[in-house]
A and B are shown apart, each in its own frame.
Chain A
C-alpha cells in the first residue's frame, strides 16, 4: 500500500516510531513515493523561503499607560478593582439620599414648618388651636402635649406625624421648653429645636442636607463610571 497521506507527517517528523518504520520500509521499495516525498520537501522549503516583510510601523501597543480592563478581562479573569463597588454603592446611596430628601422636604412643606403655620392649623383640626401656637411662636413644654395629641389627627399628612412623634417622644423635656421659650423669634429656630427636641439643629431633618449628600454621591458614582470607561 502506498503511503501518500502519511508523507507530510513523515517529512515533518510527526509520525510515531512504528508508523515511521512502516513508511521507511515502503520508501525503500517505491520510486513513486520517494519522488513524491522529495516534491513535498521542496514545496515545504519554498514556502519557508518566502519573503518575510516587516510591518511599516510598530504594532506593539503602548500598554504601559493602559490598565487592563478593570482588572477583569473578557474571559472573567478575577482581578479586583475598587472603583466598581464604589460606583455601585455611590449610585445606591445617591438614590437613598434622594429619597430622604423628598421625605424631609414633604415633611417640611406638609406641616408648614419652613413658613407660616396655617397649613398646620388646618391639618391638625381641633387640636390645631393648640398646635398652631406651638409651631409659630415660642411655647412652653406644653407644646409637647398638643404635638402628641395632634399626632393622631393629621391622618391627611402622615409623613410629618412620625417626625413629630419621634421628636416629641425624644425630648418633651425641660431643655426643649427652655430653649423654645428663649428662642421665640424665629419659627424656623423653634422648629428645629422644638421638633427635633434636641439642643442643636438636627441636620437629619433638613432636606437640603440630604439633597447635598445625594448630589455628592451621584457625582462620585459618575466620576467612578467615567474612570472605569476610559481604562
Chain B
C-alpha cells in the first residue's frame, strides 16, 4: 500500500481552522480533540471516497479506516494543511481498493491515458446547455463519465471541482508534480465534457 501517512511539507495554509489548538492537543494524544478536529471533514471525505469507489458501504469503511490511520499517525504530522493530509490518506486507500478490484477482474482495465484526448464534436443537435444542466439527466451523465475515467484523473478532478483544493495541495495529496496535476485535471474535465457532447449537448456558442 502506498504510504498513506503524509509528511506534507510546509505549504500555504488554506483557511486557518479553529483547530490550531485542537491539532496541537490531538498530536499530543488527546483523542477527543482529534475527534472534534476530523468531524467537520467527515462528510466531505465520505462524498469524495464515494465518487471514487462507487458504493456507500465501501466508502464508509474506507473513510473510517482512513480516520483511524490518521489518528495513529497524527503524532508524525509536520506542518501544512491538515485537511489535505486527511484527503491524502483517504484518497490513497480508495485508489488501492480500486486497483485491487481491477486486479481481481471486477473492473475493466482503465483506458491508457498516453494520448492527448481530443475535443469531441457534437454529432447531432441536442438540447442547449441550460436545459441539460437543470435536469437530473446531467447528473447521471456526469456521474457516468466520472466512473469511466482513470482513478488518478478522477481523484484530481474531484479534489479540484468538488473539494476546492488548489493545484499545489492536490500535488501533495497525490504525491505528484503540479504539472501532472494540471494534466490530469484537464484530461478529466475534457472527458466529462466529451461525454456530455456525445449525448447531444452543445454549447450555446457552438
Contacts and interface: CB of A to CB of B under 8 A. Distances in A.
B203 A39 contact: yes
B194 to A, nearest CB: 9
A17 interface: no
A73 B71 CA distance: 9
Interface stretch (A57-65, A84-92, A95-103): A57-65
B52 interface: no
B143 A50 contact: yes
Interface in A38-65: 38-40, 42-48, 50-65
Contact of A12 (B160, B193, B196): B160
Contacts of A75: 3, 5, 7, 73, 76
Contacts of B133: 42, 45-46
Residue of A47, A50, A54 with highest tally of chain B CB at under 10 A: A47
A68 B139 contact: no
Interface in B107-152: 116, 119, 129, 133, 138-139, 142-143, 146
B186 A5 contact: yes
Interface in B16-70: 29, 31-32, 34-35, 38-39, 42-43, 45-47, 50-51, 56, 59-60, 63-64, 67-68
Contact of B189 (A40, A61, A67): A40
Contact of B56 (A7, A47, A56, A71): A56
A66 interface: yes
A48 B64 contact: no
Contacts of B160: 12, 44
B162 A53 contact: no
B203 A35 contact: yes
B162 A48 contact: yes
Contacts of B84: none
B63 A50 contact: no
A69 B70 CA distance: 12
A55 B73 contact: no
Interface residues of A, number: 48
B119 A60 contact: no
Given A47-B157, A52-B47, A55-B43, A60 B186 contact: no
A9 B182 contact: yes
B165 to A, nearest CB: 10
A22 interface: no
Contacts of A74: 5, 72-73
A73 B73 CA distance: 5
A56 B31 CA distance: 23
Given A8-B186, A43-B142, A47-B161, 20 more contacts: A5-B183, A7-B186, A8-B190, A12-B160, A12-B185, A35-B203, A35-B205, A39-B203, A42-B133, A47-B189, A48-B162, A50-B51, A50-B142, A53-B50, A55-B43, A61-B71, A64-B31, A68-B75, A75-B73, A79-B75
27 contacts: A5-B183, A9-B182, A12-B160, A35-B205, A39-B203, A44-B160, A46-B192, A46-B196, A47-B157, A47-B189, A50-B139, A53-B47, A59-B42, A59-B67, A60-B35, A61-B64, A63-B68, A64-B31, A67-B29, A68-B29, A68-B72, A73-B73, A74-B72, A74-B73, A75-B3, A77-B76, A79-B75
Interface of A: 4-5, 7-9, 12, 14, 31, 34-36, 38-40, 42-48, 50-69, 71, 73-77, 79
Which 8 A-B residue pairs are closest in the complex by CB-CB distance?
A64-B31, A8-B186, A63-B31, A77-B76, A35-B205, A47-B161, A73-B73, A77-B75
